[in-house]
């Protein structure tokens, strides 16, 4: 079964729409390199369109009705948005769910040290990465430092042209004979991913007064102390404040068009923000809502959906209960019926076939760049272990929706049997008994510092998510 290239179906007007959408997406990608930045971006955009915060509505005791727009952020790193429909909640929700965390390096809680005249920060990698890919790249620091007083300092260093960047060193080829013999997984060890952040020692007045200008200062760790001085002067941060910081080290630089034909986008974090953004736009552009439309943007997927902001936590279920309560429709039984009768697209990326590494793909059952929105009936690995496996009736229902809306789609698996595999939030949502399937944008170089997607696949995903929110319903299955 051959799928045609989506570009072959675009007239000039459609090409313009596709490129315009891609430009908006690239602007988002430049502004949202962490979960917190994504949540902040989405809330700002939503409030412009009349969305109100759920906690404020609860405090006011204000009832909700069909047509109302509500959002609930959780710890500033996950977000749920609702557009209330005209149908009863027990008929089910139409849910788009993506994750907004991406593989990266996290700065440790006691990170700063000096060695051989350099100031460095220790990191711990987050999610599945090839550690050697992070050496010698220009890197930026994004995140927050929360002081004991409760004051939050927001950091974003390395993205503006005038900003400094940071880097992790690599061993020069002339001295790396032994290193080159190691397997790729251990060429760079995790504890060697130390971020170089400075090299100039602090100027010590006592040394200057004693006439020792130009000599090494007498004080120990002078470079580290110089960095601490800069941090305190510029940001009001002391060394002990790192204990209550969440600082993420990501590739510095903007999303870029790729290829002579500008048909692709190269950017950090497209797994899974290339699905989060079109899901958000699809949610925002819905009109005449029947089944309540829900957008779910979550943290911690890359490390197993754990923690208070991961999908295993119950903030989504709690938010649905609160919204139903404000609509006068809540009971425990109604909540269970609502979730069980829901339809969901787990908006997550798939691996596009890479012609350089064909041996790990099964060409008849993988996604290709440019052939549209990809659907993974199941994920998991080694006999579908840890998988959601969508049922045939639901897939048939979705096929009808996308065909009617003119959405280009393809089916995919993540690599050959017993070679690939992976997980998403789909299996967690399936625990409620709802229909759910993975669907999203094919990606080249997934989990690398710079990932590539096709503009056409991004645009088809947006069209598909819109059609799903409008038309999905258990009654048509």
**What would the pLDDT profile of 340-382 be if each residue is shown by its tens digit?**
999 999 999 999 999 999 999 888 889 999 999 999 988 877 7
CB environment 358-396: b (16+ within 10 A), e (fewer): eeebeeebbbbbbbbbbbbbbbbbeeeeebbebeeebbe
To the question of pTM greater than 0.85 for the whole model, the response is yes
φ, ψ dihedrals at 145, nearest 5°: -120, 120
In this predicted structure, the answer to whether residue 389 has a pLDDT above a threshold of 90 is no
Give yes or no: residues 338 and 433 share one domain: yes
Q: How far apart are CA 209 and CA 207, in angstroms?
A: 5
Q: What is the pLDDT of residue 407?
A: 97
What is residue 414's predicted lDDT score, i.e. its pLDDT?
Answer: 85
Of 251, 281, 304, which marks where a domain is finished? 251
Q: For position 360, which CATH number holds?
A: 3.40.630.10
* Mean pLDDT along residues 404-422: 88
Domain boundary, last residue among 221, 251, 281 = 251
The neighbour count for residue 44, using CB atoms within 10 Å, is: 10
How many domains does one find in the chain? Answer: 2
Query: CB count, 10 Å around CB of 134?
Result: 25
CATH code, domain carrying 202: 2.30.250.10
Spatial CA neighbour of 360 closest among 418, 421, 416: 416
- Asked if residue 1 is part of any domain, the answer here is no
Distance CA 125, CA 71 (A): 31
Q: Which of 280, 267, 263, 302 is nearest to 461 (CA)?
A: 280
Same domain, 123 and 141: yes
Query: Could you tell me if residue 260 is inside a domain?
Result: no
Average pLDDT of the chain is 93
* Structural domain includes residue 424: yes
Residue 263 lies inside a defined structural domain of this protein? no
- Mean pLDDT on 88-98: 97
CA dist., res. 182 & res. 179, Å (int): 6
Both 161 and 90 in one domain: the answer is no
Rounded Cα distance between 291 and 427, Å, is: 22
pLDDT average, residue stretch 170-188: 94
225 found inside a domain? yes
| Average pLDDT of span 129-144 | 97
What residues contact 3, with CB distance under 8 A and at least 6 apart? 368, 371, 372, 408, 409, 410
pLDDT over 90 at 81, yes or no:
yes
Q: Residue 216: its pLDDT value, please?
A: 53
Over residues 214-237, mean pLDDT: 85
User: Which is higher by pLDDT, 391 or 203?
Assistant: 391
Q: Do the beta carbons of residue 361 and residue 353 sit within 8 Å?
A: yes
Percent of the chain surpassing pLDDT 70 = 96
Q: Can you name the residues that pair with 105 across neighbouring β-strands?
A: 125, 249
Q: Are residues 76 and 221 in the same domain?
A: no
Buried b or exposed e, range 313-330, using 16+ CB within 10 angstroms: bebbeebbbbbbebbeeb
User: Rg of the chain's alpha carbons, rounded to an integer?
Assistant: 24
- Both 229 and 343 in a single domain? no
CA distances from 368 to 3, 21, 118, 257, 352 (A): 9, 20, 45, 18, 5
Is the pLDDT confidence value at 385 over 80?
A: no
pLDDT at residue 416, rounded to an integer: 84
Cβ atoms of 123 and 193 within 8 Å: the answer is yes
CA atoms of 340 and 121, how far apart (whole Å)? 47
Range of the domain at 402: 6-102+268-476
pLDDT (tens digit per residue) in 249-272: 999 999 999 999 999 999 999 999
For residue 198, name the pLDDT band (cuts at 50, 70, 90): very high
Q: Residue 79: is it exposed, middle or buried by C-beta count within 10 angstroms (0-12/13-18/19+)? A: buried
Whether residues 40 and 108 fall in one domain = no
Nearest Cα to Cα of residue 458 among 437, 445, 441? 441
The span from the CA of 55 to the CA of 72, in Å, is 7
Q: Look at residue 210 in the predicted model and tell me its pLDDT.
A: 52
If asked whether residues 236 and 247 sit together in one domain, one would say yes
pLDDT band at 5 (very low <50, low <70, confident <90, very high): very high
Asked whether residue 302 carries a pLDDT value surpassing 90, the answer given is yes
337 and 363 share a domain? yes
C-alpha span between 128 and 459 (Å, rounded) = 27
pLDDT value of residue 204: 60
Q: Does pLDDT of 185 surpass 70?
A: yes
Looking at the DSSP assignment, which residues form a beta bridge with residue 410?
Answer: 374
Q: How far apart are CA 177 and CA 182, in angstroms?
A: 10
Say if residue 421 is in the same domain as residue 394. Answer: yes
Instruction: Give me the mean pLDDT over the 305-321 stretch.
Output: 95
The answer as to whether 257 is a domain residue is no
Q: What percent of the chain has pLDDT over 90?
A: 85
What local confidence, expressed as pLDDT, does residue 199 receive? Answer: 96
List C-alpha distances in Å: 276 to 99, 102, 115, 217. Answer: 7, 12, 41, 51
Residue 341 β-bridge partners: none
20/9 Cα distance (integer angstroms): 17
d(CA 440, CA 448): 18
**How many angstroms from the chain centroid is the CA of residue 163?**
24
- Between CA 242 and CA 259 the distance in angstroms is 41
Picking from 247, 24, 239, 271, the residue whose alpha carbon sits closest to that of residue 156 is: 247
Question: 273, 284, 274, 276: which is closest to 466 by C-alpha?
Answer: 284
pLDDT of residue 214: 52
């Amino acid at each position: 079964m051959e799928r045609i290239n989506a570009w072959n179906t675009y007239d000039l007007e459609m090409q313009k729409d596709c490129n315009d959408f891609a430009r908006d997406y690239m602007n988002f990608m430049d502004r949202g390199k962490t979960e917190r930045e994504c949540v902040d971006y989405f809330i700002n955009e939503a409030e412009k369109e009349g969305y109100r915060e759920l906690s404020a509505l609860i405090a006011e005791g204000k009832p909700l009705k069909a047509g109302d727009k509500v959002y609930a952020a959780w710890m500033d790193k996950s977000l749920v948005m609702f557009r209330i429909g005209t149908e009863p909640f027990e008929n089910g929700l139409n849910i788009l769910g993506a994750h907004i965390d991406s593989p990266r390096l996290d700065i440790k809680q006691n990170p700063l040290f000096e060695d051989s005249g350099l100031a460095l920060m220790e990191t711990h990698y987050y999610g599945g990465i090839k550690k050697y890919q992070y050496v010698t790249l220009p890197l930026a620091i994004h995140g927050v430092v929360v002081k004991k007083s409760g004051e939050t300092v927001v950091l974003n260093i390395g993205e503006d042209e005038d900003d400094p960047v940071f880097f992790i060193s690599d061993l020069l080829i002339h001295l790396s004979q032994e290193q080159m013999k190691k397997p790729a997984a251990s060429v760079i060890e995790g504890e060697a991913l130390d971020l170089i952040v400075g090299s100039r020692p602090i100027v010590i007045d006592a040394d200057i007064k004693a006439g020792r200008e130009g000599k090494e200062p007498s004080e120990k760790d002078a470079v580290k102390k110089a960095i601490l001085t800069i941090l305190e002067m510029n940001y009001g941060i002391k060394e002990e404040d790192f204990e209550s910081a969440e600082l993420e080290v990501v590739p510095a630089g903007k999303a870029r068009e790729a290829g002579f034909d500008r048909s692709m986008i190269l950017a950090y974090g497209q797994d899974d923000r290339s699905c989060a953004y079109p899901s958000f736009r699809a949610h925002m552009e819905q009109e005449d809502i029947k089944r309540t439309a829900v957008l779910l943007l979550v943290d911690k997927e890359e490390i197993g959906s754990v923690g208070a902001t991961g999908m295993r936590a119950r903030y989504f279920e709690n938010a649905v209960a609160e919204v139903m309560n404000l609509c006068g429709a809540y009971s425990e039984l109604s909540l269970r019926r609502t979730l069980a009768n829901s339809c969901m697209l787990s908006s997550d990326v798939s691996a596009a076939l890479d012609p350089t590494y064909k041996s790990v793909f099964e060409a008849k059952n993988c996604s290709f760049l440019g052939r549209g929105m990809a659907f993974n009936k199941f994920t998991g690995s080694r006999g579908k272990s840890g998988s959601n496996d969508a049922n045939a009736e639901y897939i048939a229902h979705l096929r009808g929706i996308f065909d009617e809306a003119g959405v280009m789609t393809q089916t995919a698996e993540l690599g050959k049997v017993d070679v690939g595999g992976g997980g998403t939030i789909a299996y967690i949502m399936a625990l409620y008994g709802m229909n759910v399937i993975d669907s999203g944008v094919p990606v080249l170089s997934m989990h690398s510092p710079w990932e590539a997607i096709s503009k056409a696949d991004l645009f088809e995903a947006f069209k598909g998510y819109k059609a799903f929110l409008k038309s999905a319903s258990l009654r048509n299955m």
